[in-house]
Amino acid sequence: MSGINYFFLLILIILILTSFKQTRNFLKQFSAEFLTGVSTIGLTIIGIMSNSEKIFVNNYTWKEAWIYLLLLFAIMIFASIFIGAKKSLENRSFQSLNSENIKLQKEIKSYKVEYYKLCSNNIYRLFNSFYSSGGERISIYKHQGDHFILLGRYAKNPAFNKYTDYQYSENEGLIGHGWNNGEAFITGAPKWTKSGKEYKQFMRERCTISDKRLRTITMKSRSLFVSTLNDESTAENPDGIIVFESTQPTKVTKNECLDLISTKKDDILTLLKNMKDLMRKTE
């Protein structure tokens, strides 16, 4: 078989390989390396056959054609160098942008945590009388799209006072139930024991929430009151949600919560508005 047939065979193999998506993507990703490999093999063959009198194509021998082949593979090597350099620059640019993005995300998260602390301190200041032990907590959420984002919360027990970026769906849990009905109130929830079977059944009978979500909740509240927050100045949806909860089965009472909300309504709405404005800067 003449030399030119080997090149046609190589081209045929490449065409077959590129007909498969996975192989085509692989060759595209490593095109520089592929060109370098082909060029290296080609130059090796030329080196071996450069003085050969065997026919390469038509009446041209390897000895006569090697200079053209050398030029061809040299071009391929320069092409692989160019492609490799271009990809290297793209990778550097991507890595730089990725590093900047990671840095920005960390800064945004730190701002969110600081805003969370600010809101939490204000919650404690406004509702200090509600806390009689370490088992009570008050949280304020803003409504955004189809979910809720925690703005701040306060509990004397540090385990219940941690920041979370979990976003409740507007139809999930007692928060969702309170959102859709204006308020939600439960007392006498069973204590979570072992796998929490009774607790999970109690909650599922009163709202839509998964067992998985109930297991991951740090504070297994036994009495809870949820109310929407609305300045009633427009016909739009309420501005957010406030949640009073306790690990004691009868600690949270509806009358006390409504009285606290009524007494502090202007302060709560101002806090909610200011926190929403601050959080908007991190979105």
Structure tokens at 159: 């385990």
**Architecture category of domain 127-280 in CATH:** 2-Layer Sandwich (3.30)
> Which pLDDT tens digit goes with each residue over 271-282?
888 887 777 766
Burial 122-135 (b: 16+ CB within 10 A, else e): bbbebbeebbeeeb
Dihedral of CA atoms 11, 17, 19, 23 in degrees, nearest 10, equals -140
State how far the Cα of 144 lies from the Cα of 240, in Å rounded to an integer: 9
238: left (phi over 0), alpha (psi -120 to 50) or beta: beta
State how far the Cα of 89 lies from the Cα of 137, in Å rounded to an integer: 52
Top pLDDT among 38 and 139 is at 139
Other Cβ atoms within 10 Å of 54 Cβ, number: 10
> Which pLDDT tens digit goes with each residue over 18-71?
677 777 676 667 777 777 777 777 777 777 776 777 766 667 776 776 677 777
Task: For the full predicted model, state whether its pTM sits above 0.85.
Answer: no
Which residues lie across from 138 on neighbouring strands?
Answer: 154, 244
